[in-house]
Amino acid sequence: MLRRLRTAVTVNPWRYALPAGLLTGLYVLLATEQFGTYDHTVVLLAGFVGGLLVGHDSGQARRVGFLTGVVSSFPTLLWALDTVPAFFQWPQPQWFAGVQTLVLVAVVVLAALIVGLAGAVGGAVGSWLSRKTGPNEPRRIGG
């Protein structure tokens, strides 16, 4: 069963990244909404599990971790969407509210990349641990 799961995640990384990222993002949304902070530990753990599942391919493990992190950054987008209407209600020129919205979009993209990086680090560590502790694959002889 584990071998089939590893094959599925390696062939299509979204099979792990989407559900794991959504669950991680939901946890972050429910656990840290009142504080306005983002806990990367859960994203790191989700990337770590993805890296363990992928196994020996460290590049694919980092990719799975990164995708998981980007998907799990959706609370940042939700928090930003709450802020945008306030920009247009403040007593300021409308063009300045537009500039603030563009800056907020840049911050959300940057946050998604940072959270994706946390997932990629988790994936790399999980892949490394899989190589160190997992069963050795037999070497192929010949061409």
At residue 121, does pLDDT exceed 90? yes
Q: How far apart are CA 99 and CA 113, in angstroms?
A: 21
Q: How far is CA 125 from CA 33, 94, 104, in A?
A: 28, 47, 32
Phi, psi of 93 (to 5 degrees): -65, 150
Closest CA to 124 of 59, 69, 79: 59
Take residue 58 and report the two structure tokens written for it. Answer: 């460290």
At residue 37, does pLDDT exceed 70? no
Output the pTM of the full model.
Answer: 0.81
Q: Could you report the per-residue pLDDT of 51-81, keeping only the tens digit for each?
A: 888 877 788 889 999 999 999 988 888 888 8
Q: Which of 11-15, 36-40, 87-91, 113-117 has the lowest mean pLDDT?
A: 36-40
Question: Residue ranges per domain, the chain?
Answer: 2-74+114-133
In contact, 38 and 32? CB cutoff 8 Å: yes
Q: How far is CA 106 from CA 26, 62, 79, 80, in A?
A: 22, 24, 14, 11
At residue 6, does pLDDT exceed 80? no
